[in-house]
Amino acid sequence: MSGGGTLKGTHPLHIGALNGVKPEIIQVDKTTMRFDGNNVDIDEEMVNLAAAAIQYDVITQGLMDKFNVLGIVIGGRR
């Protein structure tokens, strides 16, 4: 099996349309630099992690509720 080929999409927003996307690197230099050259603020990262976890929980709970409703409508299960 040879590796790779081109992706074909039937809609402009499919994965193949992402070929022109370029990543953007943003370097933050307004924070305090530690002795080891790292300027990552662990407290800020933990707050961001907690916020992302809460968003994930809310979204997944909403999806589970929708699927439960669909299951009741389709199959009559409770």
Return d(Cα 48, Cα 45) in angstroms, integer.
Answer: 5
In this prediction, residue 67 carries a pLDDT of 92
pLDDT of residue 34: 77
Residue 9 covered by a domain: no
5 in a structural domain: no
- Quickly count helices (H) and strands (E) in the chain: 1, 0
pLDDT digits (tens, 9 = 90+) for 3-35: 666 766 677 777 665 667 788 988 777 777 778
Is 4 inside any structural domain?
A: no
Count: domains in the chain: 1
Tokens encoding 34? 């530690």
Cβ atoms of residues 38 and 29 within 8 Å:
no
Q: Give the tens place of pLDDT for each residue, 35-70.
A: 887 888 888 899 999 999 999 999 999 999 999 999
Q: What is the pLDDT of residue 47?
A: 96
Check: CB of residue 75 under 8 Å from CB of residue 68. no
6 found inside a domain: no
Is residue 2 in some structural domain?
A: no
Would residue 31 count as lying in a domain? yes
Residue 10 falls within a domain, yes or no?
Answer: no
Model pTM score:
0.53
Q: Tell me, yes or no, whether 1 lies in a domain.
A: no
**69 SS3 class:** helix
Rounded Cα gap, residues 17 and 8, in angstroms: 9
Q: Residue 36 belongs to what domain range?
A: 15-75
* pLDDT score at 50: 97
